[in-house]
């Protein structure tokens, strides 16, 4: 939607509706809200600028937060029997995949936007996460 003139899309199928809206970057909309009891769901996507701003932040001038850019389920590894992407104490580079967030049955790789060392992972594997929730604390290099 970022690269098109479409500002709103609504799909109805099997008694359910999904509506996706694009808002100007000056608006800070909620990520999702429940529709009526018939199972309607509205999903409001933040702009890329808002996602970047929300995805990372420095805490107290020392630690950097990598935040969730969406609502979904947090996974530390690409498969249940695979090793975690990163562990506490691991060094990460810009663009390195640090986790996956599953949203609407789609696996979204989340990348580090900073170079540094993972200090804390405050989210449990397979736990639900909210938009803007801290996933990793990184000590910048």
The tens digit of pLDDT for each residue in 62-97 reads 899 999 999 999 999 999 999 999 999 999 999 999
Beta strands in 14-141 (DSSP E): 16-22, 32-34, 41-45, 56-59, 63-67, 72-75, 91-92, 97-103, 106-111, 116-120, 128-129, 134-140
The tens digit of pLDDT for each residue in 97-108 reads 999 999 999 999
Q: Looking at the domain 52-140, which fold is it?
A: OB fold (Dihydrolipoamide Acetyltransferase, E2P) (2.40.50)
Domain ranges of the chain: 8-45, 52-140
Residue 8: strand pairing partners? 21
Helix (H, G, I), strand (E, B) or coil at 57: strand
Let me know how long the chain is: 141
């Amino acid at each position: 939607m970022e690269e098109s003139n479409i500002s709103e899309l609504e799909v109805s199928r099997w008694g359910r509706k999904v509506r996706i809206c694009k808002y100007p970057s000056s608006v800070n909309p909620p990520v999702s809200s429940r529709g009526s009891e018939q199972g309607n769901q509205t999903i409001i996507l933040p702009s890329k600028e808002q996602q970047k701003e929300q995805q990372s932040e420095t805490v107290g001038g020392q630690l950097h937060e990598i935040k969730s850019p969406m609502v979904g389920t947090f996974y530390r590894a690409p498969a249940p029997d695979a090793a975690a992407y990163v562990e506490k104490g691991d060094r990460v580079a810009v663009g390195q995949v640090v986790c996956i967030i599953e949203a609407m049955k789609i696996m979204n790789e989340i990348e580090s936007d900073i170079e540094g060392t993972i200090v804390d992972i405050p989210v449990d594997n397979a736990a639900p996460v909210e938009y803007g929730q801290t996933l990793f604390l990184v000590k910048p290099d």
